Amino acid sequence: MPRLAVRHRRLGDPGPGDPAAAPAQRGTGRLSPARKLGVEEEFLLADPVAWHTVPAAADVLARAEPYAGTCQPELRASQVEAATAIRSTRTQLHADLLAGRRVLGAAAERAHAVLVSSGAPVLAGPEPPGGPDARFALIDGRYRALVSGYQACGCHVHCEVPDRDHAVAVVNHLRPWLPTLLALSANSPFAHGRDTGYASWRIIEQSRFPAAGIPPWFASFGEYRSEVDRLLACGALVDDRMTFWLARPSPTLPTVEVRAADAATTADEALLQAMLTRALVDAALADLAAGREAPHGNDRVAAAALWSAARYGLTGPAVDPWHECARPANELVALLLERTTAALEETGDLALVRELLARLSRRGTGAQRQRRIAVHGLRGVMRALAADTLSPL
């Protein structure tokens, strides 16, 4: 497919989200009020007494009732996943998020386990076996100890775009925003019974894999595909679905998958990630329609921004990728809202996003809440996470 006809910008020029740049405007490549999207949520399974993770996925999935979405196994037998149906409104999506949690929560109870949404296992049992399919066995064989205890969980948002070249160009625009999406979602300060000192230990665990972190800048889907093929030829990846980049085009569908967020404690927090992601995609498509291509940026600064978001969440310094300096995280959240305001207005989601961001500011991120509860012990953290996982909020 031909490369998109868009104008390049140098890194020093004002870009989307830069204080010197205006937010994406209405009418420049009309923003879709009904761009379809779906969400995949990964969960842990825990023992209801000891509160460590247990390899109960097969039993839980066998007991899961049908619903609009799908329930499926994950990389380890202590994990399960709920995937929503493809939706265009937040009401439908929120209903699916709640239903998936209810279905898996009830199935876990019947299997004498508890469903927990956390980016990493606060308390972990013995290393769980791998998932049931042949692909998981290949992953185990390739990465060995790197995955044998890997129980990280994320919240992945899939959003439609016109075609796969647009998907790559949109991902280029998303690159500077991925650390802020992570900071908002940070929910893995504890892992295997200890405080890691990070807000998102999940991202640190993922960073050890090939093709992890902020994705490179690609000029076209063909260039992206060539890079993946090179990694496959080098033996670094099992297949073209194995990249750990935090945003990527689908290898087969005209969609963008954004994988920045830790597993969301509540369905509302998962919904917030979905609405912000769709709005960022809409803003990127508006820029592309107006001939504004994303700047390349500095890959080392991008990595520093991701590390800072994983280390501090919203509580410490963040990295401004446009000016390449430290900046308060809440200022980058404000820029994110500025960037997405026009798109959120068109989909009718702006008021709710503002409300959910204000709630997050009052209550703190999942990582902040976990640490507050941890003064009473880590089992208490797991109990609170389990309760919030099935909360209707």
The pLDDT of residue 367: 99
Given a cut of 50, whether residue 357 has pLDDT beyond it is yes
pLDDT value of residue 378 = 99
Q: Domain ranges in the chain? A: 37-387
**What would the two tokens of residue 235 be?**
């033996």
Nearest to 60 by CA among 68, 191, 259, 48: 48
**pLDDT tens digit string along 294-329?**
999 999 999 999 999 999 999 999 999 999 999 999
**Which residue is associated with the tokens 């991902």?**
171
345 CB-side CA count, 13 A: 13
Instruction: Report which of 285, 283, 326 is spatially closest to residue 304, judged by C-alpha positions.
Output: 326
| C-alpha 180: how far from chain center | 11
Beta strands, E only, 23-148: 37-46, 70-73, 79-83, 114-116
Instruction: Give pTM, 2 decimals.
Output: 0.92
**28, 68 in Cβ contact below 8 A?**
no
Average confidence (pLDDT) over 117-143: 95
What percent of the chain is modeled with pLDDT above 90?
89
Q: Read off the pLDDT of residues 174-198 as tens digits, 9 standing for 90 and up.
A: 999 999 999 999 999 999 999 999 9
- Residues in the chain, overall count: 393
Question: Are the CB atoms for 173 and 6 separated by under 8 Å?
Answer: no
The topology (CATH level 3) of 37-387 is: Creatine Kinase; Chain A, domain 2 (3.30.590)
